[in-house]
Amino acid sequence: MSDARPIGLMDSGVGGLTVLKETAALLPNEDILYLGDSANMPYGEKTNEEIIKFANQDIAFLESKGVKAIVLACNTVSSLVDHVTARVPLVSIVDAGCAAVLESCNKGKVGLIATTATVRNRTYEKKMAALTSDVQFISHGTKHLAQAINDNIEEKKALVKYIVNAIDPILRQHGISKILLGCTHYPIVKETMESLYPMVHIINPAEMQVKDLIRSLNGAEGLNPQKTKGNIKLYFTGDASNRQSFVDIANILELPYNELKHVTLDAFEKEE
């Protein structure tokens, strides 16, 4: 058996393009639909009720396109995965993040930098506690970093300030040598982080999330049988500046795509 339906990915903006890049690299024959809800970005500063509402809209949009699974390329949404509804499998990046940490170490303290909402919901801590008591997350919510990456990708001085504000508190207080990137925007500046903190192992869970996706599709049985390179379509909400952010980040990531299209999600709002 095989499944030629496309794979869906969603995020609150351009951050999930880092996961899309890994997905396209590991599954080059798959057709992929990516939705970035830039109009409502950043999800990480919203209430849980707002996040769930936006996530359900995103999921409903992708389901309307006939996807076979949805990769939640957003830590904030993944932290509330038990509260959203879907008809297709959802692949959480929180699960992947915990697995990536355990692949790197089996005990000790690991730093977690993430959005305010992700840290507030403590989903990483709960998930890790269910897996082992030997690894402890030291979490720090970063209020502005994702937005700064989205808006000021070429203004290095501004980005460095936000990166230092995110990482320094964890290092000063806890002497941690490993940090998990708990927001998919952050890998865009991973090289800058590594140049600032060469002694710290920066963990990006994107590859692990794609492996989880493959498992959720039952391996080859759920994959596209086509032998040619898959099509990648990008959808975004918002205005012209949001479109330009997609173009800029895709270029920085050297991520090819076939189409970039503006959409609105109001029609996919679910009734209470």
> 184 with 14: CB under 8 angstroms?
no
Tell me how far apart the alpha carbons of residues 266 and 106 are, in angstroms, rounded to a whole number. 45
> In degrees rounded to 5, what are phi and psi of residue 84?
-105, 165
Query: Is 98 in the active site?
Result: no
> 199 with 6: CB under 8 angstroms?
no
* Active-site option among 7, 74, 213, 234: 74
Could you tell me whether strands 90-92 and 7-11 are parallel, antiparallel, or unpaired per DSSP bridges? Answer: unpaired
The secondary structure of 88-126, three-state, reads CCEEEHHHHHHHHHHHHCCCEEEEEEECHHHHHHCHHHH
Query: Is 74 in the active site?
Result: yes
Strand order in the sheet with 7-11: 90-92, 70-72, 7-11, 32-36, 232-236, 259-262
* Active-site option among 183, 193, 206, 250: 183
Tell me how far apart the alpha carbons of residues 190 and 172 are, in angstroms, rounded to a whole number. 20
> What are the CA-CA distances from residue 231 to residues 19, 210, 225, 235, 257 (Å)?
16, 17, 14, 13, 7
DSSP 155: -
Tell me how far apart the alpha carbons of residues 228 and 110 are, in angstroms, rounded to a whole number. 41
Q: Which residues are catalytic?
A: 74, 183
